Structure 1
Amino acid sequence: MPGKALILVENLSVPFDRRVWQESTTLRDAGWDVHVICPQGTKRDRESYVELDGVKIHRYPLTAATGGPRGYVKEYGTALWHTYRLARRIGPVDVVHACNPPDLLYLVAKRLKRQGAKFVFDQHDLCPELYLSRFAGRGEDFLYRQVCRLERATYRAADVVIATNESYRNAAVTRGNMPADKVFVVRSAPVIERFRQVPAEPELKKGKPHLLCYLGVMGPQDGVDYALRSLALLREEREDWHAVFVGSGDTFDDMVALSKKLGLDDLVEFTGRIPDEDLVRYLSTADVCLSPDPYNPLNDVSTMNKVMEYMAMSRPIVSFELREARVSAGDAAVYASDNDEAEFARLTSRLLDDPEERARMGKLGKERVEGPLAWGNSQKALLAAYAAAKET
């Protein structure tokens, strides 16, 4: 019989974190009493406690890290203390479900295990690869080795691991020494109901024939700078496009500054985070969507939510050559090799000139997210992971 589940997440608030919210509602529908501990959002998800659609959400105040690794030590220490404090208030649970980053929440999970809980580790990121990608100049230094130790400790404490794709599953089995039958792939998938096309609005193109769109976080590893430099190269050949960048993040201000430096002010627009109804307006109008995450140790093996969301909206995609990008998008994207910004620009231009190819790619992407990559398949894997945890 289902019992009481506690989900721990540090890097986003809930329900803003779509994956965690989907998992929470899936478990709720299966009869679980679901509690979530997460940080408060900056502009939304501000209540310290709220019950939404039967999911009980406990939030704590948290200031995001700035600067180098020292800032993250402070952020993660604060988050860990609040998570432990709220977990004690919630009391014993049957399953504690910890989502990384960071690979520190296992410390709370181990305390709950002493009270009889099973531990499900939901690996959203490979933290060693995240460290190498975010702090590329530091290499495999002392802090990197500590990150690896924390990952190993988390694997050791886990009864079951949930991986977002086969690359992450392979890491859990090989370097994490997890039994293969205790590692389940629960792919992130867009909520189809959230991504419904609406009539295109030509005025969003600012008088241009074409609209390019980027959707997502703007952090050091997300490649918005690559996209902007590619657009600067595209401008040398043609100016029949307008580009909109939707989202925010650590490097938002830097990217706005870079756009100005590259002379793209009249062609590039930054919206920040916007409501869903505005998001679908832009995506419904976009001719080509950009996924400029560069090749690095993390991006190569990670599933990009933006790619899945573009496909849900039947949009063709330009991406760099990444292993898991190909797994997700297949022929719904074209791929520039070796972080080649000039090739990224050429592929974008090629798609702008070929409406039939854009339509074909968009149709393929839609079929993928409604078929083999649909959330319904992940729901089954999630419930199987919980069943395996309870049997451990």
Structure 2
Amino acid sequence: MRILMAGTFSFPEGGDGASRALHMQAKGLAQAGHEVLVAVCCGTLEGRKSDLDGFKVKSFVSSSKDRKGMVAPFFWIYGQLGMLLYLLYVTLARRFDTIIYYGAAPVFAIAAVAGKFLKRHTCVVEGDLMAVRWQKLLFNSEEILARNVSLIIVGGSSVLEQHFTKIAPNTKCLRLWPPTDTDYFGSGSSIRARKKLNLSDAPLIVYAGAISKLEGVDVLIESMKYVIEKCPEAKLIIAGPIVEHDAIIGKPLDYKGLVEELGLAGVVFFTGKLLMPEVADLLAAANVLVNPKVEHPANWVAAPIKIGEYLASGSPIVTTSVCELEVWLSDRRDVLFCKAGDSVELAKGICDILTDTVLSDQLSRQGVIASRRVCDFRVWGIKVIEAIEMDKGGQMRTLPKKMPLGRNW
């Protein structure tokens, strides 16, 4: 099958979680034995046509430091226009068996309308809700897109699934966990991370991700007051950037000030944003990984990508069940669940793992199994292909290979 995946952000670097997710989705489809082309407005690889992880990448604008400031809007418009014209062309020419749009960009809505009129098979991958203000500004492209594609692939909670069922009741919907490269995050080096941190023997509690009250990082820091009472040698490592606009309080909390205020200097350490190889090493070095997300409407929709990466590392996890994690994972088998926003209960969960080797080993072993069952990019690719084939009547009508993907793309 020839598949086009389209995104309007920078790729493969940039776009944060969206870029990582699109990368894994394309890799999963390619691993399933299909020809995949990722078309993006802005590419960060050398040249506008490249090969990456078994699939091809096409961009309309190459990322460059020179394309900032006053000229940036021109290149943004050029990239968007190039994407729209290309999508209309390949839709009309029937170059692909299916087109998968990532997100609800206006150019995708226009292309999807054309695709439905021409009876082409199209899908959209959605991992979050579009803000109301953007819906109004962008002529509600999300609803137009959802009503004109053949299949919606949801990477989040039932709230997101119900949203699309409501705005596009006649479009089929498939709910999957966002894909993760379980091989990559399962290959980190604990020794390398501990050597870099100069903490060879201390029990390490690790959080990796955006730093904000929405993520519950302040609750995690507060929990360390109780953890060190029972496990005085424990250290907390927080890796990631501080979010400039916190969804709960608007501005960033002074996390380092909070550490000082609680008397946790020498216990809590901030590494800043790490490269992916460093993240994999840090996850492998952890005695406990923590996902302390709090209950808040902004956390009810998008599935936390970090959970798949945590599970794949083989380190035991304490997590809240925010975003319906209990649907995918079992308490005290795959992860240890704790109450959101409760620093005392979070500390108890951390200490349970640090002091109970049987529980720790169980969570480590079953977590890896769960990552391959639920989060692996290959599983995502297989399930999406199955859904596309079922949507097309169980028999995939592959186009005659007049034009292999390797040429004229």
TM range (shorter): 0.7 to 0.9
- Look up the SS of the partner of 1:7 in the other structure: strand
Deviations 1:230-283 (A, max 9, x none): 335545665422222223363499768412333144222333333333223212
Question: Which residue of 375, 378, 381 corresponds with 1:379?
Answer: 381
Which residue in the other structure is 2:329 paired with? 329
The C-alpha deviation readout for 1:96-124, integer Å capped at 9, x for no partner, is 42222x56454343465367654311011
Deviations, residues 127-173 of structure 1 (Å, cap 9, x unaligned): 3xxx5xxxxxxxxxx73874995543332232210112562674156
Please provide the CA RMSD for this pair: 3.8
Counterpart AA for 2:56: V
Larger RCO: 1 or 2 (CA < 8 Å, sep 6+): 2
8 Å contact kept, 2:205–2:290: yes
Identity of aligned residues (%): 15
Q: 1:313 to 1:338 in 2, by over 3 A?
A: closer
Equivalent position of 2:359 in the other structure? 357
Is the contact made by 1:185 and 1:378 (CA closer than 8 Å) also made in structure 2? no
Partner of 2:288: 288
Matched, 1:192 2:182: yes
Judge conservation of contact 2:24–2:179 (CA < 8 Å) in 1. no
Secondary structure of residue in 1 paired with 2:59: strand
2:223 alignment partner in structure 1: 230
CA distance in 2, matches of 1:271, 1:252: 20
Aligned amino acid, residue 223 of structure 1:
G
Residue 367 of structure 1 corresponds to 369
Matches within 5 A, 1:268-287: 268-287=268-287
Which of the numbers 251, 259, 262 marks the counterpart of 2:259?
262
Residues 289 and 317 in structure 2, CA contact (< 8 A), matched pair in contact too: yes
Task: Tell me which residue corresponds to 1:51.
Answer: 50
User: Superposition pairs for residues 1-392 of structure 1, below 5 Å?
Assistant: 2-3=1-2, 5-10=4-9, 13-14=11-12, 17-28=19-30, 30-39=33-42, 45=44, 47=46, 49-53=48-52, 54-58=55-59, 60=61, 82-88=79-85, 91-93=89-91, 94=96, 95-100=98-103, 104=106, 106-110=108-112, 113=115, 117-127=120-130, 131=131, 143=133, 146=136, 149-165=140-156, 167=158, 170-171=161-162, 174-179=165-170, 182-197=172-187, 200-201=190-191, 202-203=194-195, 204=197, 206=199, 209-218=202-211, 221-232=214-225, 234-235=227-228, 239-248=232-241, 250-251=243-244, 257-263=254-260, 264-331=264-331, 332-387=334-389
Question: Match for residue 66 of structure 1?
Answer: none
Determine helix, strand or coil for the equivalent of 1:318: strand
Count, aligned residues: 360
Question: So what's the TM-score if we normalise by structure 2?
Answer: 0.73
- 349-358 vs 226-235, which moves further: 226-235
Residue 162 of structure 2 aligns to a residue whose secondary structure is helix
What are structure 2's unaligned runs of at least 5 residues? 65-71, 398-409
Change (3 A) 1:26 1:356: closer
Q: Rg larger in 1 or in 2?
A: 2
Query: How far has the Cα of 1:39 moved from its partner?
Result: 4.5
> How far apart, in 2, do the equivalents of 1:20 and 1:96 lie?
13
Structure-2 separation of matches of 1:323 and 1:4: 30
AA partner of residue 246 (structure 1):
A
Aligned pair in 2 of structure 1 residues 292, 39: CA closer, same or farther (>3 Å)?
Answer: farther
Quote the residue 1:137 is aligned against: none
Tell me the TM-score normalised to structure 1 length: 0.75
**Aligned-residue offset at 1:79:** 5.7
> Shift of the alpha carbon at 1:89?
5.1
